Amino acid sequence: MDEKPVTVCLRYYGISPWEIEVIYNLFNEKFEVIQEETEQTELNFVSALTIIISLPFSEEFFKWFEFREWEKVKHIIKEMKRRRGKGNAIIVEILFTGDPDVRFVTDLSENHNFNSAIEKIDSVVELLPYHLNDNNIPNDLSEAVYKYDIESGRWRLNSVLVGQKKISLTKKG
């Protein structure tokens, strides 16, 4: 991949300047970083962070970005949750743009569950082809949205977007 070939957009509110600077610096070596401080949109959360990575969610991304750097990203996100304590203090969304877009939404109140969700994001890379080849999933989807399932301790495909139509998935399909 070329030097600075793609962008990362950081949209946030309720994030300290120190926290956003650390995140900015983690991505700045390989991406052009766009920052956008927004108004509070989620009334149940004091802080929100959306990271939009303009690359597909794939093994190649993690090799290119480097696993060690990704570990640092996960660490700062978990630290942000720790600093805010229990409850619905922070919501984090990580969106990889590709075909389809893959979005991870983490809005868990317990630190342990939140940390577990953040730790396991990269493990979904291996499962994504199986999830998207399910008979219940339309072929022409534009976005796959994952939410962490506390009961099973893993990420589950929560909904998909097909054009403007959102299809919610249940445990039964």
**pLDDT tens digit sequence for 85-118:** 887 889 999 999 988 999 999 999 899 999 999 9
Q: Hey, which bits of the chain come out as E strands?
A: 6-13, 31-37, 47-53, 90-96, 101-106, 143-149, 154-162, 165-168
How large is the average pLDDT for residues 17-21?
95
Percent of the chain, pLDDT > 70? 94
Q: Does residue 172 have a pLDDT over 70?
A: no
Q: What is the pLDDT of residues 21-35, one digit of tens each?
A: 999 999 999 999 999
- Cβ neighbours of residue 162 closer than 8 Å, sequence gap 6 or more: 138, 140, 141, 142
Q: What is the pLDDT of residues 117-169, one digit of tens each?
A: 999 999 999 988 888 887 767 778 899 999 999 999 999 998 888 878 888 87
What domains appear along the chain, each with residue ranges and CATH number? 6-122 (3.30.429)
Task: Give the number of other CB atoms < 10 A from CB of residue 65.
Answer: 19
Q: What is the pLDDT of residues 55-88, one digit of tens each?
A: 999 999 999 999 999 999 999 999 999 998 887 8
Q: Does residue 173 have a pLDDT over 80?
A: no
Give the pTM: 0.91
| 10 vs 36: CA distance, rounded Å | 6
- Cβ neighbours of residue 122 closer than 8 Å, sequence gap 6 or more: 62, 67, 70
The rounded Cα 53 to chain-centroid distance in angstroms is 9
Host H or E run for residue 24: helix 17-28
| 2 vs 58: CA distance, rounded Å | 17
